[in-house]
Amino acid sequence: MAMMTMGNSVFIGIACTKFIGVIVLAFALSTLFKLYYFRMYFLMIIAGTFNGLCVLPIVLAVAGPITSIKGSRYSKINMDNSE
């Protein structure tokens, strides 16, 4: 459920926005900007996106609390709609 609600925001809001901002450094005339800043920030964006979309949800699903659906707010919403 969290990936459906937050995954799009993480991908569009963080990954794509940062990538568009950093891609400008790829066309810089200075080798320092291309070699150091572009590669560093690009790898940080890739690592952060992978962590936010793949690693962290899996770790939280495995290590998170076990909750019953019966007592959650989603079951109350579904029960209200079915009546």
Instruction: With beta carbons less than 8 A apart as the criterion, state whether 3 and 57 touch.
Output: yes
Segment of 9-13, 46-50, 65-69 carrying the highest mean pLDDT: 46-50
Of residues 37 and 78, which shows the higher confidence score?
37
Q: What's the pLDDT at 63?
A: 84
Burial classification of residue 81, based on how many CB atoms lie within 10 Å of its CB (0-12 exposed, 13-18 middle, 19 or more buried): exposed
Give the mean pLDDT of 45-71: 80
Give the mean pLDDT of 43-67: 84
pLDDT of 64 above 80: no
Q: What's the pLDDT at 77?
A: 54
Of residues 25 and 73, which shows the higher confidence score?
25
